[in-house]
Structure 1
Amino acid sequence: MKTYFRLLSFARPIGRYAIPYVIYTLLAVLFGALNLALLAPLLTTLFGQHENAAAIAKPEHFYDVFKMLNYYSMKINAEHGLFRTLQFVCLTIVVSVLIGNIFRYLSERTMENLRIHTLLNLREAVFNNVMDLHLGYFNEERKGNIIAKIAADVQVVQYTVTGTLQVIFKEPLTLLTYLVMLFIISYKLTLASMVIIPIAGFIISRIVSRLKEQAAAAHTSYGTMISYLEEALGGIKIIKAFNATPYIKKRFHEENLHYSGIMRSMTRRQHMASPVSETLGIVMVSGIVLYGGSLVLSNNGSLNAAAFIAYIALFSQIMRPAKAISTSFSNIHSGLAAGERVLALIDQQSQIKDAPDAKPVHQFREAIRFEQVGFAYNERMVLNHVSLTIPKGKSIALVGPSGAGKSTLMDLIPRFIEPQSGAILIDGQNIGSVTTDSLRALMGIVNQESILFNDTIFNNIAFGKPGATMEEVEAAARIANAHDFILATEQGYQTNIGDKGVKLSGGQRQRICIARAVLNNPPIMLLDEATSALDTESEKMVQDALNNLMKNRTSLVIAHRLSTIQNADHIIVLDNGNIVEQGTHVQLLEQDGLYRKLIEMQTFSAN
């Protein structure tokens, strides 16, 4: 129940929907029950003995519905005749049905608005929290599993948890109203019929007892399937290049079989609840017909034929809310299992948080300093007590073999990850004491992989600056050597570049990324293998763009090729998480150490 009420909290302000829903539902149920209650005077009018109205006393209590309706129908019959009475009863039924359906429509519309409102809040809360999580979380979690939680699981919560809210109020109210009506007609029959209800409830609860456990397994399996699908679509070229299609198909097929087996078992249990409850209902109706028929045949005055038929009609309707309640309890398990997965994602805490007293940093004046910085992935040390200074206006190159710690060192500066020991200072301030947004606003970042979005060229360049003008975007594109090829595209800056920029070449994609990085004119540039994946011609164009980018800026460059780093002001050589050499290109060549070996082998690579 704790999970249910927490999920329900996303419906706030719930009073905006709950109060009108309660009113509309109450009136809809009352008029719905009244429609069936009107059967008694209708049948009495058609088949009853038409006594004089004076012979029938007016009921003392207004809630004695059947006697009250019979009294007025007899009175109209006495004053206006049988056909007039029939017209009156039929018109009353039509008006009652119309009013009841109007209120039922308003009730359902209000609940649908509540459902949509809850879904909006829940999905937004999940997505916002995911966007706030640290990068390390995404390295450990399957993307497909995250997508499944945001899309499918939230949808399941919408239709089960909020749907159950509707059942929890409406169906018990309907059940109670019908029971009151049944007691008014015949308390003996009603008491007899209630004997079997606890037995039915016990049987149905046993049927659905394992549904929550199976639902949790089903959601996990579905998330794995979505992950396989996402990986297959993202790596389709490699899959075909290595003739791995049969393996990918087999992996997806096995998970699909596993998911289908769970769903088959769940469906079997869910569908079993309906026929069982229906069978039990028929047993109850048969018993009531037998017992009620004996009361009518005995002619003892406690129950007449018209009232008995109305009783049967009411009792047949009482099975509908009872069935809805049993179905809801079987579905709620799936909703709660999905809800727990969604709430787990909402509760996931980012390891990178601003300190309570963090202050924004507005400019970069002096230097970035690493003081005895250490970092490890699990138990593997990646950086071991690293100390270095990156002065303002200087270009610093990071080189070293794969796994040396270059990318990790760079990721520490914008606080994508946190050092486990030591400190990183910007202008003498620990970066943990400044706001993360203001820190990252000082930096432009270009990665080895050109990360672009399925949007126009203009919007991809203006991604970090939504209010950018066309003049500002064009100026950034010129610095990135991208303006000419952009104008040559079909619609210029308004050309859509497709998923991940698939319509552009590798060099063009990278230059768009460089334009995006330079648009805000950041004082610090972080360049992670920006040319390593390009051909020679594209590399020259991108390298020229990078040279433009680094003018009058502080830059930290992870280098793969000699052409990228030989003009750097200072070179840091990393190996096994330690700084083993540093100096200019010429100085390091003279030392005849690791740097010279790397230059000779041309094996600079990213970590």
Structure 2
Amino acid sequence: METFKRILHYSRPYGWRIAISMIASFAVGGTDAAIAYMVEPLLKKIFSEKDTMIFVLLPVAVIIVFLLRGVARYVQEYYIRTASQLAIQDIRNEIYRKHMDLSLRYFFDNPVGMLMSRIMSDVGQMQQGVANVITGLLRDGVTAIGLLGVIFYRDWQLALITFIVLPVTAIPTQKIGRRIKILAKQSLEQMGEITSILQETFTGIKVVKAFRLERREVERFNRTNFTMYRNLRKSIKYAALHTPVMEVITSLGVAGVIWFGGRRVMAGELSASEFFSFLTAMVMLYSPIKKVLSAYNTVQQSVGAAERVFDALDQRPEVEDPAEPVAFGKSKGDVELRNVSFRYNDEEVLRNVSLKAGRGDVVALVGPSGAGKTTIMSLIPRFYDVTGGEVLIDGIDVRRLRLDDLLRQIALVDQETVLFNETIANNIRLGCSDASLEDVEQAARAAFAHDFIMEMPDGYETNIGDRGVRLSGGQRQRLCIARAILKDAPILLLDEATSALDTESEHMVQKALANLMQNRTTFVIAHRLSTILHADRIVVIEKGEVVEVGTNDELLARNGLYRKLYDMQFSRDGGN
């Protein structure tokens, strides 16, 4: 119930639409009750009074009643469904905004396809439930109340027989609904897995083709799809069982009314017209009640989806702004890690790491895979918070700064070139949205990207497609460097920015990086040691600890881990 109340909470801003729908619902319910009520006087006029004028008036009255009923039903349906659609739109907007505020760990712990499914499939399931339930409660509920009034007015004794079986129908409805809710959540989880498979396959289609994985991926998709079908099949089984059970139970009430009412008619205690009027109202009554109870199954599916959605909405980011942030302008570029430790879940990733860098310094982080280099890079912009020690910028712990103020000081060029399905100019502007085209062009020239941009069909206004698929690896990387140059942040993080490039592209990117690194505090993770030979300090990380610090020449002279990595790489590369 709490979950459903929370769903309805999102409908409050659209209360006027619901109010119009409620008024129209009273009109729909009122016409049904009026039709049932009019059966008795109509039969009396036809069979007892032999009134022939009724055959002239009745067709006209039927047309008018059903015309009014049709208009009211349209108004009711339109306004309640638009209200539910707007409410669901708000929920979808909020869950997307909430996801954007969550910390990086959440996205690493949850597959992209599962997150997409939660925003699309789960919210869509909620939409269906909200629309159907509110529609049922308004239209069918009002109709049922009106018809109950008619049957109690006609004959309270027969009405009690009718009413006795109604609470009984709620028992199987509740049990079936609970089962459907569980199955709905399982089906939505399977839908999330299907979305993950689609996302992985389509994103990595080149690898799928190169390794001839088509059959394997098709089989994986088929297995997951069939598992979802099995859950849906159970839901269908329970939903299909609901109506027959309802009809069997209500037939007991119908049988009781026919037996008891028929005896009263034969005894002269009840006229035939009154009895048929009661039967009409009773038969009409069971239909909306059956719809209301059937809607319970839809409610359970909706609540199952809503619980998954609200679980995401209730997630709190690990990294948040401090309650009393320190005012901070532009950084001088002084960065220090002081006795920093970090655990990821139960795994200790860093232990007592300390290092310093000032404006203009280039600090290179090297070490075996999994040593903790990328983690150090992630702690400076607070993608994660340290579990021990401090990360300081200009002597201030980064946890005391607003995230906006902190990230304004940092530019990131990652090994994974992230570009959006936008124009080249807008991709460069990501770090400085109000930059003029002249500023964008100047940054592109500094990144050695201007020439290839001008060769594109629409220059800077060329749309580069999803993830920049129309560009080469070196071109994508230079656009990312241009983006960092335009941002003009005093601290620069380079995470293996040239690791995936060929020699020619790497040469161009290195020239662009040289322009970017001028007068900035730079931290570099380098796959190729040849790119960091001239770094002011090289910090060697092994198993989460700093094991060596020095220049290239100093570290080679020590014959430690750096010398081992150096010899391995340069002997493999033929001394180049």
Same topology, TM > 0.5? yes
Counterpart pick for 2:155 among 186, 198, 210: 186
- Cα distance change on mapping 1:408 and 1:179 into 2, 3 Å: same
Alignment of 1:243-322 (within 5 A): 243-282=212-251, 284-285=253-254, 287-300=256-269, 302-305=270-273, 307-322=274-289
Q: 3-state SS of the aligned residue for 2:505?
A: helix
Alignment of 1:175 with 2:149, yes or no, is no
Which residue is 1:57 aligned to? none
Which residue is 2:574 aligned to? none
Alignment of 1:480 with 2:447, yes or no, is yes
Which residue is 1:105 aligned to? 74
TM score, norm. by length of structure 1 = 0.88
CA deviations 1:201-245 (Å, max 9, x no partner) are 334444444222222222222212222222222222223333333
**What letter is aligned with 1:544?**
K
How far residue 154 of structure 1 moved from its aligned partner, in angstroms, is: 0.7
* Aligned residues of 2:32 and 2:147 also touching (Cα < 8 A): no
Superposition RMSD in Å: 2.3
Alignment of 1:135 with 2:135, yes or no, is no
Alignment of 1:345 with 2:312, yes or no, is yes
- Cα distance change on mapping 1:136 and 1:500 into 2, 3 Å: same
- Cα distance change on mapping 1:99 and 1:525 into 2, 3 Å: same
Percentage identity across paired residues of the two chains: 37
Which residue is 1:448 aligned to? 415
* Aligned residues of 1:42 and 1:90 also touching (Cα < 8 A): no
Which residue is 1:210 aligned to? 179
Alignment of 1:77-476 (within 5 A): 82-83=52-53, 86-282=55-251, 284-285=253-254, 287-300=256-269, 302-305=270-273, 307-365=274-332, 367-476=334-443
Which residue is 1:71 aligned to? none
Q: 3-state SS of the aligned residue for 2:549?
A: strand
Which residue is 1:20 aligned to? 20
Which residue is 1:56 aligned to? none
| Bigger mean CA deviation after superposition, 232-241 or 331-340 | 232-241
- Cα distance change on mapping 1:594 and 1:290 into 2, 3 Å: same
**What letter is aligned with 2:199?**
E
How far residue 368 of structure 1 moved from its aligned partner, in angstroms, is: 0.8
Which residue is 1:35 aligned to? 35
**What letter is aligned with 2:435?**
A
Q: 3-state SS of the aligned residue for 1:571?
A: strand
* Aligned residues of 1:42 and 1:86 also touching (Cα < 8 A): no
CA deviations 1:363-400 (Å, max 9, x no partner) are 11251111111112234332211111110122222222
- Unmatched 5+ stretches in structure 2: 572-576
* Aligned residues of 1:360 and 1:434 also touching (Cα < 8 A): yes
* Distance in 2 between residues matched to 1:25 and 1:512, nearest whole Å: 58
Q: 3-state SS of the aligned residue for 1:532?
A: coil
**What letter is aligned with 2:6?**
R
* Distance in 1 between residues matched to 2:305 and 2:175, nearest whole Å: 21
**What letter is aligned with 1:230?**
Q
- Cα distance change on mapping 1:199 and 1:379 into 2, 3 Å: closer
TM score, norm. by length of structure 2 = 0.93
How far residue 97 of structure 1 moved from its aligned partner, in angstroms, is: 3.0
* Distance in 2 between residues matched to 1:280 and 1:419, nearest whole Å: 63
Q: 3-state SS of the aligned residue for 1:574?
A: strand
* Aligned residues of 1:153 and 1:338 also touching (Cα < 8 A): yes
Q: 3-state SS of the aligned residue for 1:450?
A: coil
- Unmatched 5+ stretches in structure 1: 51-76
CA deviations 1:349-376 (Å, max 9, x no partner) are 1111111001342211251111111112
* Distance in 1 between residues matched to 2:124 and 2:76, nearest whole Å: 21
Which residue is 2:4 aligned to? 4
| Bigger radius of gyration among the two | 1
How far residue 28 of structure 1 moved from its aligned partner, in angstroms, is: 2.7
How far residue 325 of structure 1 moved from its aligned partner, in angstroms, is: 1.5
Which residue is 1:61 aligned to? none
- Cα distance change on mapping 1:376 and 1:197 into 2, 3 Å: closer
* Distance in 1 between residues matched to 2:152 and 2:388, nearest whole Å: 75
**What letter is aligned with 1:6?**
R
**What letter is aligned with 1:384?**
R
**What letter is aligned with 2:197?**
Y
| Bigger mean CA deviation after superposition, 540-549 or 193-202 | 193-202
How far residue 417 of structure 1 moved from its aligned partner, in angstroms, is: 0.9
How far residue 453 of structure 1 moved from its aligned partner, in angstroms, is: 1.5
Q: 3-state SS of the aligned residue for 1:403?
A: coil
* Distance in 1 between residues matched to 2:431 and 2:333, nearest whole Å: 25
* Aligned residues of 1:397 and 1:571 also touching (Cα < 8 A): yes
* Distance in 1 between residues matched to 2:161 and 2:334, nearest whole Å: 87
CA deviations 1:305-343 (Å, max 9, x no partner) are 3x4333333222212211112211122221111111111
* Distance in 2 between residues matched to 1:189 and 1:577, nearest whole Å: 81
| Bigger mean CA deviation after superposition, 429-438 or 353-362 | 353-362
How far residue 98 of structure 1 moved from its aligned partner, in angstroms, is: 2.8
Counterpart pick for 2:510 among 534, 543, 556: 543
* Distance in 2 between residues matched to 1:111 and 1:274, nearest whole Å: 25
* Distance in 2 between residues matched to 1:46 and 1:366, nearest whole Å: 97
How far residue 298 of structure 1 moved from its aligned partner, in angstroms, is: 4.2
How far residue 451 of structure 1 moved from its aligned partner, in angstroms, is: 1.1
* Distance in 2 between residues matched to 1:387 and 1:207, nearest whole Å: 60
* Distance in 2 between residues matched to 1:510 and 1:277, nearest whole Å: 65
* Distance in 2 between residues matched to 1:162 and 1:111, nearest whole Å: 7
Alignment of 1:515-530 (within 5 A): 515-530=482-497
Q: 3-state SS of the aligned residue for 1:381?
A: strand
